Amino acid sequence: MAVAVRVIPCLDVDQGRVVKGVNFTGLVDAGDPVELARRYDGEWADELTFLDVTASSADRETTYDVVRGTADQVFIPLTVGGGVRGPEDVDRLLRAGADKVSLNTAAIADPELLRTASRRFGAQCVVLSVDARRVPSDGTETASGFEVTTHGGRRGTGICAVEWAARAERLGVGEVLLNSMDADGTKAGFDLEMIRAVRAAVRVPLIASGGAGEVGHFAPAVHAGADAVLAASVFHFGELTIEQVKNAMRAEGITVR
Amino acid sequence: MPRVVVLDYGSGNLRSAERALEHAGARVEVSDDHRTAMEADGLVVPGVGAFSACMRGLLEVGGDELVDRRLAENRPVLGICVGMQILFQRGVEHGVSAEGVGRWPGAVEPLRAEVLPHMGWNTVTAPSDSVLFAGMDPDTRFYFVHSFAARGWEEHTGEPSSRRRSVWAEHGEPFLAAVEDGALMATQFHPEKSGAAGNALLRNWLETL
């Protein structure tokens, strides 16, 4: 038997509340991250990811409370990302109950942060989150044709996304979360070419994100090399259930839990 | 209600273990106090990160001695993840060997697999008389996250191995997913992160206390 492909719902958390609309039926409070986390746990989500979109550091205290509350009640792995600037942030999130912490912008500014975090906390809890896109016609060409972006995909960095993932692996990250900024929100399917390119360059588990719109979109991402698939809105709005996604993958011969 | 101490030796993941054990029906204390740990019905040794770092932390709080003393009195100890790995004689990371507690023979070594760490939900093969996995379906999955594992037993002459029950899993190659050795038991996966399956396993363990 093989390790199961993971299906991971992602929740955007702002000042302790889930934002970007959640439309589950039967929820008392659709904005409560702990309640949603329990709901997803009950629906056989394999992991949960919180993306902390809180802008000010003062409001981040509530994020720690959310992580604590979730870790107290939900017994599946929890990854927290967004606004993680240094080892102390990683430490605080792990102490609050996160199992993994994803790093993005801060790692672009200082790649050594990945090495520091991996050495101190272990590779298994350091995730590199990459927001990548095809280099636009007026951009700086990269070796793979994909570049790392910042500011929610609006700003290109000229850094080759595939080389960045490979470098992060050498620096010690235990997993790569690959977000396609071109596919994100289109619901037209994952960026399979990008998944294949990064898969060929790294040996750590690869989470594919961005573009999921229907059950048939997930299996191709796995066949392209993803070890896990992440989605947000299709799950939040009840358009797809985790069970439907798993059944569709199972029908394509993919091992799921 | 059984009383369990989660050994606090600077390794992360204590809160998750504490909460999951409470959820499974134990009264839990996180502590490095030897008297408290000796008096508890069960001792849990968690562990994440590097083998050598965990071993260092364990020695600093005298955890090796604590485990020995409990086992001499046949009092249950449960190791989790690196808390299982350090029970072996040694761990080999990046070509460097570090000494373990040595309750079990052999080494913990890098897994030979295409994708590492082994991260996610996997099945295990347990013997029919297993205590921890009693009543569980063979397709039950547990959450693993590790790059190193005991890939087999290096049996020594005269080693009484028959009392040991070995539970196997596979990622690239077979490795020990759990061991039941009298009062000493351990899992390579994280029961505290394995949802309902992990809860069932912890309940099985608590019943032995």
Of residues B156 and A40, the one with the higher pLDDT is: A40
Other C-beta atoms closer than 10 Å to the C-beta of B5 total: 27
The pLDDT, as a whole number, for residue A175 is 98
Structural domain of residue B67, as residue ranges?
3-207
Under a CB-based contact definition with an 8 Å cutoff, are residues A257 and B198 in contact? no
Sign of the dihedral defined by the CA atoms of residues B171, B174, B180, B181, in that order: negative
User: Who contacts B50 (Cβ-Cβ below 8 Å, separation ≥6)?
Assistant: A122, B82, B93
Residue A175 exposed, middle or buried by CB count within 10 Å (0-12, 13-18, 19+): buried
Is the link from the previous residue into B117 a cis peptide, with omega within 30 of 0? yes
pTM of the model: 0.95
The pLDDT, as a whole number, for residue B157 is 43
Which of the four pLDDT bands, split at 50, 70 and 90, describes residue B14? Answer: confident
The pLDDT, as a whole number, for residue A29 is 77
Residue B133 has pLDDT above 50, yes or no: yes
Q: Give the bridge partners for A49, in sequence order.
A: A10, A79
Q: How many CB pairs lie under 8 A apart between chains A and B?
A: 96
Sign of the dihedral defined by the CA atoms of residues B193, B200, B47, B42, in that order: positive
Determine the residue among A65, A72, A75 to mutate to test chain B binding: the one whose Cβ has the most chain B Cβ atoms within 10 Å: A75
Sheet containing B184-187, strands listed edge to edge, beginning at the edge strand earlier in sequence: B27-31, B3-7, B42-45, B77-80, B184-187, B173-181, B165-171
Question: In chain B, how many domains are there?
Answer: 1
For chain B, how are helix, strand and coil distributed in percent, rounded to 5? 25, 35, 40
- Write out pLDDT tens, residues B157-195: 445 556 789 999 999 999 999 999 999 999 999 999 999
Active site residue A65: no
Distance in angstroms (rounded) separating the CA atoms of residues B62 and B65: 5
Q: Do A204 and B115 touch (CB under 8 A)?
A: yes
- Write out pLDDT tens, residues B105-114: 999 999 999 9
- Chain B residues lying within 8 Å of A205, measured CB to CB: 115, 117, 119-120
* pLDDT tens-place values along chain A, 257 residues long: 699 999 999 998 988 888 876 767 777 777 889 999 999 999 999 999 999 988 677 778 888 999 999 988 899 999 999 989 999 999 999 989 999 999 999 999 999 999 999 988 899 999 999 999 999 999 999 999 999 999 888 899 999 999 999 999 999 999 999 999 999 999 999 999 999 999 999 999 999 999 999 999 999 999 999 999 999 989 988 899 999 999 999 999 999 99
The pLDDT, as a whole number, for residue B15 is 86
The phi, psi pair for B93, rounded to 5°, reads -125, 130
Give me the residue from A5, A71, A174 closest to B15, CB to CB: A71
Residue B44 has pLDDT above 90, yes or no: yes
- Chain A residues lying within 8 Å of B199, measured CB to CB: 75
- Chain A residues lying within 8 Å of B13, measured CB to CB: 99
Give me the residue from A1, A46, A95 closest to B123, CB to CB: A1
Active site residues of B: 81, 190, 192
Q: Do B199 and A41 touch (CB under 8 A)?
A: no
Provide the mean pLDDT of chain B. Answer: 93
Determine the residue among B119, B139, B175 to mutate to test chain A binding: the one whose Cβ has the most chain A Cβ atoms within 10 Å: B119
Distance in angstroms (rounded) separating the CA atoms of residues A129 and A179: 7
Q: Do B122 and A71 touch (CB under 8 A)?
A: no
Of the residues A41, A131, A184, A191, which is catalytic?
A131
Of residues B95 and A181, the one with the higher pLDDT is: A181
Determine the residue among B8, B13, B19, B121 to mutate to test chain A binding: the one whose Cβ has the most chain A Cβ atoms within 10 Å: B121
The pLDDT, as a whole number, for residue B22 is 97
Q: Which domains does chain A have, with CATH numbers?
A: 6-251 (3.20.20.70)
Which CATH number fits the domain that encloses residue B58?
A: 3.40.50.880
Q: Give the bridge partners for B187, in sequence order.
A: B80, B178
The residue type of B192 is: E
Active site residue A131: yes
The Cα of B148 is separated from the nearest Cα of chain A by a number of Å equal to 11
